[in-house]
Structure 1
Amino acid sequence: MKRRTFVQNSLMATLGASVTTTGAFGFAGNAKEKQQGKHNFNLKYAPHEGMFKHNAGGDIISQLEYMAEQGFTALEDNGMSGRSVNVQEAMAKTMQDLDIEMGVFVAHKIYWSEPNLASGDKGKREEFLSDIRKSVEVAKRVNAKWVTVVPGHVDLRKEPGYQTANVVESLKQAAGILEPHGITMVLEPLNYMNHPGMFLTKSAQAYEVCKAVNSPSCKILYDIYHQQITEGNLIPNIEASWDEIAYFQVGDNPGRNEPTTGEINYRNVFKYIYDKGFKGIVGMEHGNSRPDTEGELAVIEAYKKVDDFL
């Protein structure tokens, strides 16, 4: 059976079993009727694998096709570097055919409970740089322009200034590896509740580090979920660090689910970055508030709602 036929048959079977009562966003009818075809989003929202598995099936290629059918024009895959070369190549071919842009994947081993880059340890630095070199090959294979970098845990035995200098030096060397290939590492500040003890936590700190590295291959991944918890004041902080931001990620708070499920006014935030001329990717790095077919459709409707700002 051809892949397209398989996907369509699987999708029809799934949709036929969907609940027919009014859903989370107040619309009635069956799941197929709720899907009004490809939507023209204003921003490049990037789902993750598994976000639409009930509607699209478990196969990543089928999920990519489903994402494109809904109007999504990008994909995030944090674990891309762990996939086999054959799968990477198949995904790249499918994304090229569907005009889907590859977003970030994680470029290196992240240290969640012990210092690595902040310590200045030469062995840890070389391990990091080796991972960056490997990530270049993956990025070239899947046509990725951005890779995620998390500097890791703080070193409680060193003053903050020394830690910053150590991190900056490691990132300068990594930038030297990435620059010839036109790949940008995006530094992600993380919140202290989900990830206690991390070196990089705030947008101003990420801005300072990027200015010190002074490379087009070292920019900020501004995760709106993390920064809402850590510092709030979202639009002013985005404005202040704008010239170093290359990538956004999304999740509402509390819950880290799709927009409209928490306290963040995503319609206003998205309108702001759109009006500023942002042309990059907005990664949908969150869960679904409901783990079923209707919940997946609710995610799509949520993005249509917050993207309706023109």
Structure 2
Amino acid sequence: MKTQDRRNFIKDMGMLAAAAGITSLLPFDVMASGKKEFFKISLAEWSFHKALFAGKMTNLEFPLKAKNDFGINIVEYVSPFFNKKETDAAYLKELLTITKNEGIQNHLIMIDGEGDLGDLDEKARTKAVENHYKWVDAAKILGCLTIRVNAAGKGSEADVKTAVIDGLGRLTDYGKKNKINIIVENHGGYSSDGKWLSDVMKGVNSTYCGTLPDFGNFRINAERQYDMYQGVQDLVPFAKGISAKTFKFNDKGEEADIDYTRMFKIIYDSGFKGIVGIEWEGDSLSEEEGIRKTKVLLERVLAQYK
């Protein structure tokens, strides 16, 4: 039987068996065909940060650009590009209408500039927590399941960790009430230490709190660089998304400095199933070409797990 015919046969058999309630009698490969896909590809808005900051694109135009130009119907927003309209009901409704009409999934919003959740001053930390509430509310309106925040603060590793666990934990409580996940990216400072951030996750200890491992953000400071593969290994058990960062490509279409095959084996072996976001951040190609090359690379990786 040809491969495609066999796949169609397996699919049809699985559907018929499920309807008849006899799935336990099916061969293993028939049952396996119904398993959840390893990952789906989304597009992170930061990939267009040059165009957005230059006013060549707007937040409202981004989802359509993702779908029409790249065939990607899952999107990840970045807070500055809302231009302070995150509490504007009409604006959020317009964005939701655009995405609903086009069958685009609003996945998450990346939040920056709302204060340090690990501020050692309790009043400042509380203000930072409360500053994020409006983003939880916006995410809920848009149908996102998640917001990405930063685990930051100034002080010793131990003191900031304690403060972050408190601030992030309180924000997670608010997220839980609204059924919105609160996830942390390794994004500089202590958060780029995979062990430190995994300890924070264990401290918060909530199914509504997780991580967004980013392949390219493991520089703790000018003197300290955390191993990216160890970092993903540390963070992927808590991951509710993956940020597939790319900077440059070699002549084989591979990321020049990040071994994607190795990286995704770590992710696959962890049992992760979810959404992987394209985040192009290089200068050697245009934003459009960088996104296209990253998508081709991710599709090639995904094909290895079919």
Secondary structure of 1:46's counterpart equals strand
Contact 1:249 1:282 in 2 (8 A): yes
Cα distance change, pair 101–305 in 1 and its aligned pair in 2 (3 A):
same
Secondary structure of 1:282's counterpart equals strand
Contact 2:40 2:275 in 1 (8 A): yes
Larger mean CA deviation between 130-139 and 264-273 belongs to 264-273
Two-structure CA RMSD over aligned residues (Å): 3.4
Which 5+ residue runs of structure 1 have no aligned equivalent? 1-39, 192-197
- Among 249, 252, 259, the residue aligned to 1:265: 259
Secondary structure of 1:105's counterpart equals strand
Q: Report the identity percentage.
A: 18
Q: CA deviation at 1:133?
A: 1.6
Partner of 1:29: none
Deviation track 1:170-201 (CA, whole Å, cap 9, x = no partner) reads: 1221121111111111112224xxxxxx2322
Matched letter for residue 199 of structure 2: E
Matched letter for residue 278 of structure 1: F
Q: CA deviation at 1:141?
A: 1.6
Partner of 2:123: 123
Which 5+ residue runs of structure 2 have no aligned equivalent? 1-36
Matched letter for residue 243 of structure 2: Q
Counterpart Cα distance in 2 of 1:284 and 1:99: 19
Find out whether 1:203 has 2:185 as its counterpart: no
Q: CA deviation at 1:73?
A: 2.9
Matched letter for residue 208 of structure 1: D
Deviation track 1:263-282 (CA, whole Å, cap 9, x = no partner) reads: 11224433553565433222
Partner of 2:93: 89
Cα distance change, pair 270–50 in 1 and its aligned pair in 2 (3 A):
closer
Q: CA deviation at 1:233?
A: 5.2
Counterpart Cα distance in 2 of 1:146 and 1:123: 25
- Normalising by structure 1, we get a TM-score of 0.68
Partner of 1:187: 184
Find out whether 1:100 has 2:104 as its counterpart: yes
Counterpart Cα distance in 2 of 1:241 and 1:169: 19
Secondary structure of 1:262's counterpart equals coil
Partner of 1:176: 173
Contact 1:81 1:107 in 2 (8 A): no
Partner of 1:232: 227
Cα distance change, pair 45–273 in 1 and its aligned pair in 2 (3 A):
farther
Q: CA deviation at 1:145?
A: 1.2
- Normalising by structure 2, we get a TM-score of 0.68
Find out whether 1:67 has 2:66 as its counterpart: yes
Q: CA deviation at 1:51?
A: 3.7
Matched letter for residue 272 of structure 2: F
User: How do 1:1-310 residues align onto structure 2 when only pairs under 5 Å count?
Assistant: 43-48=40-45, 51=48, 58=57, 60-69=59-68, 70-79=70-79, 82-84=83-85, 85=88, 86-107=90-111, 109-110=113-114, 116-155=116-155, 159-191=156-188, 198-227=189-218, 230-232=225-227, 234=229, 237-252=231-246, 260-270=254-264, 272-274=266-268, 276-287=270-281, 289-291=284-286, 297-310=292-305
Of Structure 1 and Structure 2, the greater strand share is in 2
Counterpart Cα distance in 1 of 2:287 and 2:159: 48
Contact 1:48 1:77 in 2 (8 A): yes
Secondary structure of 2:110's counterpart equals coil
Higher RCO, 1 or 2 (CA under 8 Å, sep at least 6)?
1
Partner of 2:33: none
Counterpart Cα distance in 1 of 2:195 and 2:43: 25
Counterpart Cα distance in 1 of 2:39 and 2:168: 33
Counterpart Cα distance in 1 of 2:162 and 2:190: 12
Matched letter for residue 238 of structure 1: V
Cα distance change, pair 295–147 in 1 and its aligned pair in 2 (3 A):
closer
Q: CA deviation at 1:132?
A: 2.1
Cα distance change, pair 300–249 in 1 and its aligned pair in 2 (3 A):
closer
Matched letter for residue 138 of structure 1: A
Q: CA deviation at 1:164?
A: 1.6
Contact 1:49 1:60 in 2 (8 A): no
Partner of 2:16: none
Q: CA deviation at 1:202?
A: 1.5
Counterpart Cα distance in 1 of 2:192 and 2:102: 36
The number of residue pairs the alignment matches comes to 252
Matched letter for residue 187 of structure 2: L
